[in-house]
Chains A and B, each alone.
Chain A
């Protein structure tokens, strides 16, 4: 029996309207941060940034070649990961450890460092007991900021390859990828740190703790002994969503009341996840000189979002397996969900967190119905199409280039995107970037099933889905989980760590090379014979390509998991 969840639909509509209303102002701000000669915020941030660049010893106006840009990105990310790894291995003997967290084992520390530097935020540990306050701050919060800044920087560089070459007043003239440090530092000083400060203050006002006092052991109202784990939660929680990171301060992530105490924080966290990914797409539209190019992409993404959400809301109205018991299921499948969010507040969060690269959860996905759990899994298999700082614009633009190429083949014209011919080189690089994802997921899952079957926390099809989900989330750099999987084994820590590294650091350079190759091309303006990508028809073709490519690639493996469980 499918009930219509009106409250859920109204909530979703309000959230989408708010995000769309924020798209132009925030997107315009993003344009000013990376691409304008000057902005009215220069007086506020300029002196601080100039001091920073002096200390760092970099010249932010120096133009980098694509190779140099990639090299600097990899070098900085590598160094940060190593520093974090060393801190995690030694956290017990470092200061700010009031909860007595022990040193991390090497396999788990490797997994954690790679997880957070890649913006994935997969966690095989429970933060409240296994991380010191220092680690929560200088490992987790630190990498949440810098991995998001790396993603934004890559996104900005990527956009430059496609940007219109018309001389427009106020825009910086750049003949190259730009400067990695300029993009990276400004992502932090002008975007992430100020926004995180605002969101943190809202969260504190709603009751998210922010303290250095240690865990509190107390007697409950009925006299049982219990412990409240606290710490610097709000400062982590804000950047966790703005940076589409997703790693929880607590093992139960945003389901735990201290991370997400009220329906207000739930909505704030959802909007925080969506605002930068969509604004980045809008900025892309401004830079290519036609914002309709961006609105078509945003429209297509919102259609996917709404369809996935509708399937999810319908699937979670009840759990058929409990229908013979004397249970009133009018509130829906509440196993693993919080009363304050209900099914709709949980499902909107879940679709948001998996269609962006975030991966935080406010309910336990493992306890969703088979089809309800298929929704986040499918979004991971589509490589979290809103992406955000996980992979900048890269994952949606992979689909765009493939869609233009396929549409071009179908009508028998040379495929062209934004006036640039798509030729063999770009198609090869894009296909390679596209294929990395299913190879990592399917290969990893096969290996996991053979070598780590004991880690599955549920029997049958559902256990298989747990393993599949783990490699899908790692490859998509998302980080959400079917958390019944016992993920803290050396095999899973190492293989998932490597999957996360390949998912990010193979895709990034490939797509920057694509962008660089587009930058070298001659631009031919639209004429009557061009297949236009700024029309809604293209939006439909794009959705079709995303769905067909996703279904062709993953349908067989889904039969072994959620589809098998649903049909049983």
Chain B
């Protein structure tokens, strides 16, 4: 009795390891590659023919002439952890030095996400960066506002999900508006502002 039970268990293990562990995923690889290869490969985005990331996965932006994304990394800090509070105040100081006109910074811009690679920011977090980017690049605020609106996604069926902007796609569109001449000028301005901003953050973090 026990011996036949043991054989049945052994055979069941092998058969379903093959069925569920190999046939099922490989069949799906086949279907996905035929049905929607770009999605199956990770929704890659290219600029001038080279891959610069995925439409789904966020990446950090430090150049002030780009829209900034959420702070990268995952810390698992608890709500009252002093490290969290110190980090958020540092991020607030950084955002305020980059965008002096704002009084309150939206929370998504100063907190880490769940994945550490959130592709999105809230639309208001993108809109508040427009004056800075317009100054640095010479692109009018109107054009930038239209760009942000164009890349704003709304909740599905009006309720599922939150309004959001894909930062990488927005910045790629922004880059395509820059001519080599404006780009050089913008880069110079941006480097200067970045130096100022990191100075301000450094001063602030010593203060706290």
Contact = CB atoms under 8 A, between A and B. Distances in A.
Interface in B44-66: 44, 47, 50-63, 66
A308 B33 CA distance: 41
B8, B31, B110, B122, most chain A CB atoms within 10 A:
B8
Interface in A188-241: 188, 193, 196-197, 200-201, 204-213, 216, 218-222, 224, 226, 228, 230, 232, 234-236, 239
B11 interface: yes
B113 A255 contact: yes
Contacts of A142: 16-17, 20-21
Contacts of B132: none
Contacts of B16: 142, 145-146, 188
Interface string B136-148: 0000000000000
A248 to B, nearest CB: 10
Interface string A130-161: 00000001110110011000000000000000
A484 B115 CA distance: 14
Contacts of A212: 29
Interface in A306-349: 319, 321-322, 325-342, 345-346
A140 B21 CA distance: 8
Contacts of B113: 255, 334, 336-339
Interface string A361-391: 1111011111000000000000000000000
A175 interface: no
Given A79-B13, A181-B12, A221-B53, A209 B81 contact: no
Contacts of B75: 367, 484
B12 A56 contact: yes
A494 interface: no
Contacts of B22: 137-138
A363 B79 CA distance: 14
Contacts of B52: 218-221
A228 B42 contact: yes
A545 B15 CA distance: 44
B39 interface: yes
A56 to B, nearest CB: 5
A289 interface: no
Interface residues of B, number: 95
B20 A257 contact: no
A331 B63 CA distance: 26
A56 B21 contact: no
Interface in B79-114: 79-82, 84-85, 88-89, 92, 96, 103-108, 110-114
A207 B122 contact: no
A7, A257, A267, most chain B CB atoms within 10 A:
A257
Given A11-B160, A334-B107, A345-B162, A56 B53 contact: no
A458 B9 contact: no
B122 A55 contact: no
Contact of B159 (A7, A196, A483): A7
Nearest to B28: A235
B79 A226 contact: no
B76 A484 contact: yes
B5 A71 contact: yes
B21 A230 contact: no
Contacts of A321: 79-80, 84-85
Interface residues of A, number: 113
A204 B76 contact: no
B6 interface: yes
B168 interface: yes
Contacts of B78: 366-367, 458, 462-463, 465, 484, 565
Interface in A454-478: 457-460, 462-463, 465
A339 B175 contact: no
Interface in A461-507: 462-463, 465, 482-484
Nearest to B105: A327
Nearest to A236: B25
A103 interface: no
Contacts of A208: 39
A462 B12 CA distance: 44
A10 interface: yes
A102 interface: no
Contacts of B114: 252, 255, 336-338, 346, 361-364
Given A221-B52, A337-B113, A338-B120, A331 B107 contact: yes
B171 interface: yes
Nearest to A200: B28
B73 to A, nearest CB: 11
A460 B80 CA distance: 9
B81 A459 contact: yes
A52 interface: yes
Given A56-B11, A72-B8, A459-B81, 20 more contacts: A55-B15, A58-B8, A75-B5, A75-B9, A196-B24, A208-B39, A209-B40, A211-B32, A211-B42, A218-B51, A226-B53, A228-B53, A228-B54, A255-B113, A258-B57, A261-B56, A335-B77, A337-B113, A367-B78, A367-B79
17 contacts: A58-B8, A76-B9, A181-B8, A197-B28, A207-B56, A211-B32, A211-B41, A218-B50, A235-B28, A250-B115, A331-B107, A331-B162, A334-B113, A336-B114, A338-B120, A370-B79, A458-B76
The 4 closest A-B CB pairs, nearest first, are A263-B161, A255-B114, A484-B76, A138-B21
